[in-house]
Amino acid sequence: MARGTPRAPHAARVAVIGGGPGGLYAAALLKRQDPGRQVTLWERNRPDDTFGFGVVLSDETLGGIESADPDVYAALRREFVRWDGIDVVHRGTVLRSGGHGFAALGRHRLLEVLQRRCLDLGVRLLFRTPAPPAAELARTHDLVVAADGLHSRTREDHRDVFRPTLTPHRCRYLWLAAGTALDAFRFEIAETPHGVMQLHAYPYRHDASTVVLEMREEVWRRAGLDRLDAAASARRCAEWFGPPLGGQSLRSHRSAWAAFVTVVTERWHDGRIVLLGDAAHTAHFSIGSGTKLAVEDALALSHRLERARTVPEALAAYEAERRPVVESTQRAARASLEWFEELALHVDQPPRRFAFNLLTRSRRVTHDNLRLRDAAFVAAVEAEAGVPPGTPPMFTPFRLRGLTLRNRVVVSPMDMYRAVDGTPGDFHLVHLGARALGGAGLVMTEMVCVSERGRITPGCTGLYTPEHERAWRRITGFVHTEAPGTAVGIQLGHSGRKGSTRLMWEGIDQPLPHGNWPLVAASPLPYRAGVSQTPHALTRDGMTAIRDQFTAAARRAARAGFDLLELHCAHGYLLSGFLSPLTNHRQDAYGGTLTARLAYPLEVFDAVRAAWPDDRPMTVRISATDWADGGTTADDAVAIARAFAAHGADAIDVSTGQVVPDERPAFGRSYQTPFADRIRHEAGVPVIAVGAISSWDDVNSLILAGRTDLCALGRPHLYDPAWTLHAAAEQDYEGEGARWPVPYRAGSRRPPTGRKM
């Protein structure tokens, strides 16, 4: 708002439901902002009722508090316990990473500070008083702030507007405290006869630490903790985790074992009513605190209310500001939560790699920023993993059968839709050649179709004629001659029910306006009901014919000089259509159980493997989940990967989705990597991770953590064909993992910017 412009007279009467930190802080800020406001807060519990013990706040949050209310900041600052180390305890080995920076205080003390500030400002606090329904308050107040927590009555009363989704997770956790102050954030793992358990602990006073115990539901039950109250559970858990806490007993306070619930709401405000903190969203405690998010919500709400001319305008602006931040936090929290749910997969890692994996689990802490915080720690992790000094993990070699890749970067298969009658031309030569010159260890073709009717669009490439073979040989010859050290792989596939469509930019998944060809699939189910062509269910004769087309294409690929062959069993194309229960409704030997659904894809794989040279590797791309109810699950993906590995697959290329159009992917940074991680550890097969991996820092992090063996990147290579070489230059790396082509060596250093005198 411009200087001198009077603020519109709105929000003169404010009701706050919930007396936790978020509600109290919002009440204090709104009253301080306009002393003439009437601000009333209802809390059904007593002033000192709370669960848990300590609260961790980030420097960013503290900076916001200091700017908005220096008095609150000064009061809190006197209470803080600060530290910068994280200890990870793995099978008796304590590994410390420094340079992180934390501040914590007791939850009771935080409430006391905020309650005192509210009273000093003139906020009316009504404890042990249930609030009237939000709709009723909205009739007599200009603004109703619902900070009524995870079990928000307001959210449920207005669920048709807020449209919440509550997702319970697979671990049970319990908040406890120990009468000793740790000097670092501590993660400790206990491998008990009942299963793996974990402890998260941090100091919050000079003489006390918060302790959170967490374990999978089945471990909790096997340990008999489901039959014990919090006090008895604390005594039992002290047997497993007592020594690291100095032999101190663990105590509880209004705590009970719970399963964490992620709350997501599609809308945060309704007229004069607005959700704040856990009422609107939750994020797993392993990456921070719900208190932090609630306090930041309160800061944003007061800021927007001060600048807007109306309450609806302020609430819309508040949600627009906070939602992207919260969603990013929730994605990181979900990654962290799922890592701990799958903790048993990682405990056999060497100690330092395990610690690095844990520290980077949310994908917010990465190889590069961890190195900035504690270079010695990262160097020790790299040494343990066998990474040569001065070599980023992404530039270490990797062997698949008789092929050694010089680095861990793969140019992901990307359909270009530039072929003529299946024949790749100059565009493909330049496209693939440029990326081979750009330094990647492996450059993959787009999906190359095994027959004319197996194409997705008229612009898709094929390998079903001698002309196709000659054209591909021209491209592989260029790569091997001009980019020595770069391998080139071919991905073979058949479109199945997703074929006979327009080029992507002319209408993705839309049928051709004319010239459509008949489609085949596992079952006669159109991809888009009412839009897509209905395919014919493949007969046994048809299955044999297509298997032979794959075999013929594999022989042509070998003669054309490809170094690696990938069988496309993902994204809803023909072989993927057999694997998913959503697209395979067959009643014969190729439908029903997962074993039956695997039969035909494995038959094709075996035929291709027999036709493909024995010293050259084969990989298989799968969709590890359909992102849809009733579809392929992560458990299925592990079984599918095991089956292909048992038949001779050298690696599994782990993608997800694109099988059914009504999927609901959980997009985010490296969002498909956890599926690859699980397959790598459970199936014991090398994996290629794909999906929103965009930076060399991501690649280094994923490789060093042991979550994948190779990383496939698509869009970054569209943006920059020399992405890998530039990644090497930006990391001051000049080794064998990223050799610049001789004509390009003069450009191996970033050009100077600006004029130097």
Task: Give the residue numbers marked as catalytic.
Answer: 573
Other Cβ atoms within 10 Å of 406 Cβ, number: 23
Q: How many CB atoms lie within 10 A of CB 518?
A: 11
Helices and strands (DSSP H and E) totals, the chain: 25, 29
- Give the distance from CA 375 to its chain's centroid: 25
Q: Give me 60's structure tokens.
A: 């960013």
Query: Dihedrals φ, ψ of 65, to 5°?
Result: -65, -45
Q: In the 3-class helix/strand/coil scheme, how is 561-623 assigned residue by residue?
A: CCCEEEEEECCCCHHHHHHCCCCCCCCCCCCCCHHHHHHHHHHHHHHHHHHCCCCCCEEEEEE
* Cα gap 64→294, rounded to integer Å: 12
Alpha-carbon distance 15 to 38, whole Å?
Answer: 8
**Tokens 């269910």 appear where?**
537
User: Which H or E element spans position 379?
Assistant: helix 375-384
CB contact at 8 A, 20 and 294: yes
Two tokens at 752? 């100077």
The closest alpha carbon to 83, from 63, 109, 54, 104, belongs to 104
Supply φ then ψ for residue 273, to 5 degrees: -100, 135
Strands 164-178 and 81-83: unpaired
Query: What contacts 648, CB < 8 A, 6 or more positions away?
Result: 605, 606, 609, 618
Where helices occur in 647-744 by DSSP H, the ranges are 673-683, 696-705, 715-719, 723-730
CA distances from 28 to 19, 208, 301, 367, 539 (A): 11, 28, 12, 40, 71
| Long-range contacts of 385-388, Cβ-Cβ distance < 8 Å, separation of 24 or more | 385/350, 385/352, 385/353, 385/704, 385/706, 387/704, 388/735
Of 218, 220, 219, 216, which is closest to residue 338 (Cα–Cα)? 216
648 contacts 679 by C-beta, under 8 angstroms: no
Distance CA 513, CA 256 (A): 62
